[in-house]
Structures are given as C-alpha cells and as structure tokens.
Amino acid sequence: MIPIKYNVRNLIVRKTTTVAAAFGLALVVFVFASAQMLGNGIKKTLGRSASPENAIVLRKGSSSEMESGIEEQQVNLVLAQAQQVGASKEPPGVGEVLVVILLDKLGTSGVSNVTVRGVTERAFDFRRTVKITEGRAAKPGADEVVVGAGITSRFKGLGIGQSFELKKNRPVKVVGVFADDGSSFESEVWADINSVRTAFGREGNVSSIRVRLDAASKFDAFKALIEQNRQLGLSAQREADYYEKQSEATATFLTIMGTMIAVLFGLGAMIGATITMNAQVANRQREIGTLRALGFSRRGILVSFLLESVVLSLIGGGVGAIAALCLKFVKITMLNAGTWAEIVFSFEPTPEIILRSVLLAAVMGIFGGFLPAIRAARISPIEAMRA
C-alpha cells in the first residue's frame, strides 16, 4: 500500500491544480448545503410559531388562514368545546383576522406584500414567547400597531413613531416592535382586530381561532368535538402540523432548485477533477513507473490515485461546508406560498446537512478520479521509465 503522505505531498507540491479543483468542489458543496439550509430555515421559522399544546381552527375546506372565514359568535362556542376536554384558562384561546397589504420597501423602488394580523388585547397573554423589545404595546381600539422585528427595517413607515396606511385613508401609527425567537410572527404587523375588520370589511368575522389545550394529548378529543358538530362547519388541526404544511411548498421549491443547481455544478466539478487527475497522471508517469518497479501493484496504484482524488474532494468539501455555515448569520426574505407575503428567515444548518454535503464531495471525488486512477494503474513500468 502506497503511504498516504505520498498523496498529500503531491497535492501540496501541485498547489495551482489542487486549489483550482478544490475550489470547484467547494462551490458545489456550498450551493448544495445552502439550498438544504434554506429549506430547513423556512421550516424552522414557521415551526417556531407553533406550540405543541396549541390547535388552530379554520373554516372547513380552508388550507390557510387567508382562505378561512369564521363568524365571531362561533369563537366562544369553540372555546367552550376546548374547555370540555381541558383548555388553558389564561386565556384558553383567541380569534384573529389575517390580511395582506402592499407596502413600499426600504432602499428600493419596489413594493411587496406584508401580513397584518388583527389581534385582541389577549394576544400577548396567549403567545407568551412574544415580547415587546422596543416601544410599547398598542392600545386596544386605537389606530396603533406593533411590528415584528424581522420587517421593521425592511419597509417604509414601519419604524417606531412612523405611520403607514392600513388601507387607503386609514393611517395607523407604529408604537412598538416585538420579537419571538425568529418565528414567522416577526414578519407580521399586529393591529387591533376591530381596526382591521373595519378597514377591510370583515366585521363579525375572524380568520382563525387558536386554542391552547392543557396537554397535546387532548387534541384528538378536541378535534372530534369540533368536527362532529356539523353546524359549526369547522376543522381543527395541530398548530405544528398547520405550519409544517404551510412551509412545505416553499421549502420543497428551495431544496429542489438548489439541488438541481448543485447537480449541474457537480457535473462540471467532476469533469474538472477528472481533467486535473488525468493531467497529474500524464505528468507523473516516471513516478508511477518507479512505484511499479519498487513492487507496488496495479491495484495499489489505482487505490492511491483514487484516494488522492477523494482527499482533494474532501478538502474542497470542507471549505464549502465551512463557507455555508457562515450563512447562519444571514437573513433573507422570500414570499411565503401560504400567504404570498414576505417572510424573513435565516439559513439553518444541521449536522445531517453538513455530513450529506461532505459526502457529496467524496462521491464526486470518487467518480471524478476513477478513470484517471485506472489509467495510472495500466501504465507499464518499462514504458513509464522511458518517458
């Protein structure tokens, strides 16, 4: 077996070709890992909005809050059903209205959709992880709003003390900023529910009802009570399941697109690795002949060159993975397929994503180095010494 230090020395000596090949492999791993982290990021952002004990009630047949409409009088009926199976008392649930408005973006001449949630004064008591970080909470019944930390600096009029139109000729003032550990709520504007209803003609209706049960195990009993009552015409699902479904379309799109780009780049990287290794075989014929003359077998030569290709790919893969990890601190915006409004999220790496990315580099190294390794193994020691 040829010592591994022989392969390492060759990579160090041939710095230019090593760096060029490693860069191509690093780029593939960076793109692949970034796409996986983006898909995971959207799932995590929406997943943080859910609580295991919470259930969300929508109009039957609705796939999201945007499509749902529930009569306000049904809110108390749903909360009463929840208390039958065991619901939190402070408060047991809330009814809310969800709409989307168009706002001007900061730093550009473009506009984009922003989610506005009409809430009651109990919204912060129900969502205990949501905290005011700047300013104060909006007063009930006033034309005041609080803005999620993720969008306050991305749109005009969302800074504290500024105003924007909830709808034409219906200005509201920003009095506070709230945060929720990076959840999708940080991409929303929270306004008084009655102000939203009046502005958008939604009087007497809510988009959804959220209920906090004593335990997640009580959901099935609650769901049965809600859906067996045909007069209500409502459906219930776990809040976590709801947000998982909301993230599926966007996460899948990001993952597929990123993977397709990585595959195309990967083909180019493998071709580059093959060319690099072929060039090294051509330039090292005498070395190969000497190794064969010293008694190293064809199999040993093949394994050595294949190992060299894998080491090269792992170096590039490691660099690409580290570069992708740096994206953890980057936040980007994208339209959520569930609401068609902007949502702010970050790249979310996991050990599994990094491992898959590095393994991808190793596979590319094997495929890219296989043919050159066979070529090296077939070189005749006599012909090589004469070259």
Q: Where are the domains of the chain?
A: 4-47+246-335+343-386, 61-232
Q: Comparing 120 with 380, which gets the higher pLDDT? A: 120
The winner for highest mean pLDDT among 157-161, 260-264, 345-349 is: 157-161
Measured between alpha carbons, how far is 195 from 181 in angstroms, rounded to an integer? 27
The answer to whether the beta carbons of residues 101 and 114 sit under 8 Å apart is: yes
pLDDT of residue 383: 64
Mean pLDDT of 122-136: 92
pLDDT tier at 384 (50, 70, 90 boundaries)?
low
Mean pLDDT of 37-52: 85
From 143-147, 215-219, 365-369, the region with the lowest mean pLDDT: 365-369
pLDDT at residue 3 tops 70:
no
The answer to whether the beta carbons of residues 189 and 98 sit under 8 Å apart is: no
Q: Comparing 282 with 175, which gets the higher pLDDT? A: 175
pLDDT of residue 230: 83
Q: Comparing 341 with 58, which gets the higher pLDDT? A: 58
- The DSSP bridge partners found for residue 58 are 235
pLDDT of residue 50: 82
pLDDT tier at 286 (50, 70, 90 boundaries)?
confident
Measured between alpha carbons, how far is 107 from 333 in angstroms, rounded to an integer? 14
Count H helices, E strands: the chain? 11, 14
Measured between alpha carbons, how far is 113 from 103 in angstroms, rounded to an integer? 6
pLDDT of residue 149: 93
Mean pLDDT of 110-129: 91
Q: Which residue has the tokens 């609580």?
A: 51
Mean pLDDT of 162-179: 93
pLDDT at residue 193 tops 90:
yes
Q: How far is CA 5 from CA 12, 124, 176, 301, 377, in A?
A: 10, 62, 61, 14, 19
Measured between alpha carbons, how far is 192 from 15 in angstroms, rounded to an integer? 64
Nearest to 60 by CA among 200, 218, 193, 231: 231
pLDDT of residue 209: 95
pLDDT at residue 226 tops 60:
yes
Measured between alpha carbons, how far is 86 from 6 in angstroms, rounded to an integer? 70
Mean pLDDT for all residues in the chain = 85
pLDDT tier at 386 (50, 70, 90 boundaries)?
low
Beta strand ranges found along 306-349 (DSSP E)? 331-335, 342-346
Mean pLDDT of 25-40: 87
pLDDT tier at 120 (50, 70, 90 boundaries)?
very high
